């Protein structure tokens, strides 16, 4: 089927309606949403005013005051039901992700699977919100820490993972006893409407099981950055988890700090891989191809810089260039295509200006041109670009959210490692090597300075279980796995005296 024949507006409306979303929430409003697959408009949503957003925050706070009293394993039951509803809706929601963001079908489904996985993680976590008991110097005393819910948590998300990022935050925040208020990207609010409806189904089942839960446990706010700013400014939002560009984090972080609120920042990456002389080049080729071209280069963990040892450069790079020329670019809803569209014209223009800058800095560019399809003049497909660079200069030091892979040659491992770390961002990283010393150094204190450091797999993508996030301009936040739950709770240290005297710490005497 050609792109011209696709009626994505009709298909979107059918999916939304099947998932229980009322048509007035995606028609007749002011926020127009286009599918990058064809460029056609697929929804027009009413937006929240600042006053409506403020009102929603007050209600979410009131709901928090009740929800925090529900025992954590009972809160986990709601997240278990959410996981079940997501399993039931996986095909429809995955398809909607593909339509709204332009991801290939398996990646749209994969994003929903990630939501299911974090729900499973959250259910287990609901019985593991533990604190320590600490030895005390005072006789007949006990010292311990307890973890308490925090409040109404703000979630601001980016377009490229329109639903998974909400679930990473919400599944944990909810079992920790918080309520959530979500401001999705203005480019992808339709999938958010679908998720909210799926959540409400889970909540109805939870109540039907005999559990009690307040209204406004999970709230959705539709709009642009101004709506996000209301979340950032409101005193009843003790934590904002914000995913997006470093520019967004630079605006949001200081404003939260100003009112002593917490921030969990998941910002831009400029991820690299080193290919050592001993690397398995077949495996490397596949790892690099997915990490650099997958999701049309629109993952925060997309591979953007590749350092190749001079002994394997002339073998690997021509093979990579061939893969770049032959990779299938086109309708992401059609089986066989591996690279879908960029999100919009702005993304295409930024890609072209980075390629121009790379050329001016001596780069040799293969690919990068627009791929046009009949009947879809407003869709922006590109052939991924591979650029051989003489040095790590100009655009190589920035994140361009598009499929551009800058390739550089090295001869000394330690110099490659230095260059690897010599960018402002610090999200994800990889080394391809069979040399045990190189691999161990890469993941050691002297190695990669990123939040994620992999061996023999690409930097792109993540698995629920590990903490996700990065250093430096990536913002320092950690989400989803390991002990990331602590960000959504406050810690209290309790000292209990079960004796009849009052010994003071450090031997202090104060006898009145
Ligand atoms: P963006 O920064 O343009 O927007 C992200 C969200 O922030 C949107 O919801 C937007 O409305 C909101 N926003 C923007 N400015 C704001 C402000 N001043 N106050 C409050 N809210 C504001 O990002 P995008 O184009 O949607 O997404 C791409 C970027 O996101 C890339 O840089 C990518 O690396 C990053 N990203 C990071 C991660 C991660 O986990 N580190 C994950 C996904 C995407």
pLDDT of residue 507: 95
Mutate to test the pocket of ligand 1, among 101, 107, 158 (most ligand atoms within 8 A of CB): 158
The number of C-alpha atoms within 13 Å of 252 and in the hemisphere containing its C-beta is 31
Query: Phi, psi at residue 146, to the nearest 5°?
Result: -125, 150
Residue 139 has pLDDT above 80, yes or no: yes
Q: Which atom of ligand 1 has the smallest separation from the CA of 251?
A: 18
C-alpha distance from residue 121 to each of 83, 89, 175 (Å): 10, 19, 10
pLDDT of residue 200: 98
C-alpha span between 131 and 72 (Å, rounded) = 14
The finding on whether 473 has its CB within 6 A of some atom of ligand 1 is no
Q: Which atom of ligand 1 has the smallest separation from the CA of 475?
A: 41
C-alpha span between 353 and 358 (Å, rounded) = 9
Q: Which atom of ligand 1 has the smallest separation from the CA of 245?
A: 32
Compute the distance from residue 185 Cα to the ligand 1 centre, in Å: 7
Q: With cut-offs at 50, 70 and 90, classify the pLDDT of residue 394.
A: very high
C-alpha span between 299 and 403 (Å, rounded) = 10
The finding on whether 154 has its CB within 6 A of some atom of ligand 1 is no
- Cβ neighbours around 5 below 10 Å, total: 9
The finding on whether 166 has its CB within 6 A of some atom of ligand 1 is no
Please state the rounded mean pLDDT for residues 291-304: 98
C-alpha span between 372 and 380 (Å, rounded) = 7
Spell out the alpha helix ranges (H) of 126-182: 164-175
Residue 448 burial class via C-beta count within 10 angstroms: exposed 0-12, middle 13-18, buried 19 and up: buried
In the chain, what percentage of residues exceed pLDDT 90? Answer: 98
Q: Which atom of ligand 1 has the smallest separation from the CA of 187?
A: 26
Cβ proximity of 231 and 57 under 8 Å? yes
The number of C-alpha atoms within 13 Å of 177 and in the hemisphere containing its C-beta is 18
Compute the distance from residue 147 Cα to the ligand 1 centre, in Å: 30
Q: Tally the residues of the chain.
A: 512
Compute the distance from residue 378 Cα to the ligand 1 centre, in Å: 23
pLDDT in tens, 400-427: 999 999 999 999 999 999 999 999 999 9
The answer to whether ipTM exceeds 0.95 is: yes
Compute the distance from residue 320 Cα to the ligand 1 centre, in Å: 30
Mutate to test the pocket of ligand 1, among 190, 244, 347, 404 (most ligand atoms within 8 A of CB): 244
Q: Which residues are catalytic?
A: 266
The finding on whether 251 has its CB within 6 A of some atom of ligand 1 is yes
Mutate to test the pocket of ligand 1, among 245, 348, 484 (most ligand atoms within 8 A of CB): 245
Residue pointed to by tokens 């240290």: 493
Whose C-alpha lies nearest to ligand 1, atom 12? 225
Compute the distance from residue 223 Cα to the ligand 1 centre, in Å: 13
Mutate to test the pocket of ligand 1, among 248, 400, 481 (most ligand atoms within 8 A of CB): 248
Rg of the chain over all Cα atoms, to the nearest angstrom: 25
pLDDT of residue 1: 57
Q: DSSP secondary structure string, 183-252?
A: E--TT-HHHHHHHHHHHHHHHHHHHHTT----S-SEEE--SSHHHHHHHHH-TT--EEEEES-HHHHHHH
The finding on whether 474 has its CB within 6 A of some atom of ligand 1 is yes
The finding on whether 269 has its CB within 6 A of some atom of ligand 1 is yes
Could you give the 3-state DSSP secondary structure of residue 78? helix
Compute the distance from residue 399 Cα to the ligand 1 centre, in Å: 13
- Cβ neighbours around 492 below 10 Å, total: 11
Residue pointed to by tokens 């470093």: 246
Please state the rounded mean pLDDT for residues 51-73: 98
Nearest Cα neighbor of 281 from 256, 251, 259, 314 is: 314
pLDDT in tens, 333-373: 999 999 999 999 999 999 999 999 999 999 999 999 999 99
Query: Which structure tokens are listed for 493?
Result: 């240290």
pLDDT in tens, 430-465: 999 999 999 999 999 999 999 999 999 999 988 999
Residue 300 has pLDDT above 70, yes or no: yes
183-187 own/partner pairs: CB under 8 Å, 24+ apart: 183/154, 183/155, 183/156, 183/157, 183/221, 183/223, 183/227, 183/228, 183/231, 184/157, 184/220, 184/222, 185/157, 185/158, 185/159, 185/244, 186/31, 186/223, 186/224, 186/225, 187/33, 187/159, 187/343, 187/344
Beta-strand ranges (E) seen in 30-71 are: 31-34, 41-45
Compute the distance from residue 109 Cα to the ligand 1 centre, in Å: 22
C-alpha span between 28 and 222 (Å, rounded) = 14
pLDDT of residue 461: 85
The number of C-alpha atoms within 13 Å of 199 and in the hemisphere containing its C-beta is 25
Average pLDDT, the chain: 98
Residue 194 has pLDDT above 70, yes or no: yes
The C-alpha torsion from 219 through 224 and 229 to 235, rounded to 10°, is -10
């Amino acid at each position: 089927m050609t792109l011209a024949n696709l009626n994505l507006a009709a298909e979107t409306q059918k999916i939304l309606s099947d998932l229980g979303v009322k048509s007035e929430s995606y028609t007749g409003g002011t926020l127009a949403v286009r599918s990058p697959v064809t460029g056609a408009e697929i929804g027009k949503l009413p937006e929240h005013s600042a006053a409506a957003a403020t009102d929603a925050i007050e209600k979410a706070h009131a709901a928090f005051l009740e929800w925090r009293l529900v025992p954590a394993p009972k809160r986990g039951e709601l997240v278990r039901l959410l996981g079940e509803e997501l399993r039931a809706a996986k095909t429809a929601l995955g398809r909607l992700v593909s339509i709204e963001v332009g991801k290939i079908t398996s990646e749209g489904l994969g994003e929903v699977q990630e939501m299911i996985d974090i729900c499973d993680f959250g259910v287990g976590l609901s019985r593991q919100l533990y604190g320590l008991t600490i030895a005390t110097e005072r006789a007949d005393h006990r010292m311990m820490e307890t973890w308490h819910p925090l409040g109404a948590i703000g979630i601001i998300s980016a377009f490229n993972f329109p639903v998974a990022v909400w679930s990473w935050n919400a599944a944990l925040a909810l079992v920790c006893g918080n309520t959530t208020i979500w401001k999705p990207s203005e480019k992808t609010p339709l999938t958010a409407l679908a998720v909210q409806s799926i959540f409400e189904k889970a909540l109805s089942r939870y109540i039907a099981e005999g559990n009690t839960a307040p209204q406004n446990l999970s709230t959705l706010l539709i709009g642009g950055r101004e709506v996000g700013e209301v979340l950032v400014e409101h005193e009843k939002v003790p934590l904002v988890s914000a995913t997006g560009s470093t520019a967004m984090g630079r605006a949001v972080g200081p404003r939260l700090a100003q009112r002593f609120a917490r921030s969990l920042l998941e910002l831009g990456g400029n991820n690299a891989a080193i290919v050592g002389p001993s690397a398995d080049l077949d495996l490397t080729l596949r790892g690099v191809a997915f990490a650099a071209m997958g999701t049309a280069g629109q993952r925060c963990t997309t591979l953007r810089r590749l350092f190749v040892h001079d002994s394997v450069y002339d073998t690997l790079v021509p093979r990579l260039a061939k893969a770049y020329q032959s990779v299938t670019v086109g309708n992401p809803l059609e089986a066989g295509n591996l690279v879908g569209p960029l999100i919009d014209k702005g993304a295409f223009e930024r890609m072209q200006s980075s390629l121009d800058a790379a050329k001016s800095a001596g780069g040799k560019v293969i690919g990068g041109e627009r791929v046009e399809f009949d009947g879809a003049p407003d869709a922006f497909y590109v052939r991924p670009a591979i650029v051989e660079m003489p040095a790590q200069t100009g655009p190589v030091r920035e994140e361009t959210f598009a499929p551009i892979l800058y390739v550089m040659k090295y001869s000394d491992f330690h110099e490659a490692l230095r260059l690897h770390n010599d960018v402002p961002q610090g999200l994800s990283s990889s080394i391809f090597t069979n040399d045990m010393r190189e691999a161990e150094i890469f993941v050691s204190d002297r190695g990669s300075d990123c939040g994620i450091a992999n061996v023999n797999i690409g930097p792109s993508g993540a698995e629920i279980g590990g903490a996700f996030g990065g250093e430096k301009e990536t913002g320092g936040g950690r989400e989803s796995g390991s002990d990331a739950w602590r960000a959504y709770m406050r810690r209290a240290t309790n000292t209990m005296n079960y004796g009849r005297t009052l010994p003071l710490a450090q031997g202090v005497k104060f006898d009145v």
